Structure 1
Amino acid sequence: MKGASDRAHALSAASEDGRSASAVPSVADEQDSLDMARLASGHNAVLNDLMERHAERLFQYLVRSLENEEDAADLAQETFVRVYQNRAKFDARKKFSTWLYAIASNLVRDRYRWRARHPKVSLDAANEATGNDFVESLPEENPSPIETVQARERAAAVRRAVAALPDQLRIPLILSEYEEKSHAEIGEILRCSAKAVEVRIYRARQQLRTTLSELMQTL
């Protein structure tokens, strides 16, 4: 029982070394840079290629960040609108995905501020997030119906706890745990140091452990 509880109330710390960005750009990064150069020179159709490579993963990041698929779809579309509007400002020396997630993360912060000003609307629009959960709580082999229900309840508790984190803790945690981005890249996205990212992720995990240890008592 302890193992299942541990999985439910603590996010595993992934190795930062395994996530370190390579000094050599990947083929995908180089293609992104080429496409952005073409977009800036007037070849608007390449925006579709960029969206094809990045839209699905970006949408999942936004769903996890916002806990609302409708908001996530809106912001995914708005993110690519901003990419097009600012195509001439893209710095080809940097990764396109870093720039893309910086735009999306700024929109997430704006949406949370809007929700704070319109709590009734936010409550009415809330829906369950889909996709993978922060913690894969299902037993590995032949779960019983009770185990399946308990696992779903634990996963839902984790989602709620993550959604309740302040954005300065929630966003770096999601970028680290789900998007598997290095502290250095998250720092570029959020415009802070890698050390600040490390501290924020640590604080997020500590807060989740406290919150979930209380919630798990009722499950």
Structure 2
Amino acid sequence: MTKTRNLTVLWALRSPCNLGCDYCYFGTLEEHRDNPPTVLGALSHLPHGDLSFDRIAAFLTSVERSRIGRVFLAGGEPLIWPRTLQVIEILTRAGVEVVVCTNGLPLNRRGVRAALLDLGVSAVSVSLDSADPGLNDRHRRPRHEGDGWHGVVAGITALLADRNRHSANRRRAGTPVTAVGVYTVITRETLPGLVATARFAADLGVDYFV
């Protein structure tokens, strides 16, 4: 009897992140460097509690026999860990749909974009809170120049261009085309511009806005 694969897993794969969002449920890297959490199981951007790749790989051997049909890979920022791509490869080979949740900055690296598309991830969801660069970066704080709103939009644009360039060949081969979307966090400040943000995302050419 075929097992129904109807379970969805949200996996915070890694703790570190290259942004410093002030509303992050992990807290901030800076405050944890100054005052490392001491409570067992406390969320933190410090990577000391992250699983090794060997332990992750051991877990992944069971996925194909499980009811897991879809995995959302999040973090931290999953794409700043090179071995995330190996995790994606194992999951997709096991027939699992993979949605990558990213802040968008790693998408400026051609190799990352190519790997995500070649591995056939179901979707890439990019966090962007406003069409206004200043408002977005006020809460999604960049740590380095160029790593804010402009870097995120550049990453989305580059991924869409690469995806669209190869989508016709994938459709002819009967291979699903990776969807690209935007996730936004609504606050009192961003709510008045929510429609403008959705329109901006649509103008970029994304497939969905959440």
TM-score, length-scaled by structure 2: 0.32
Larger radius of gyration: 1
Higher strand content, 1 or 2: 2
TM-score, length-scaled by structure 1: 0.31
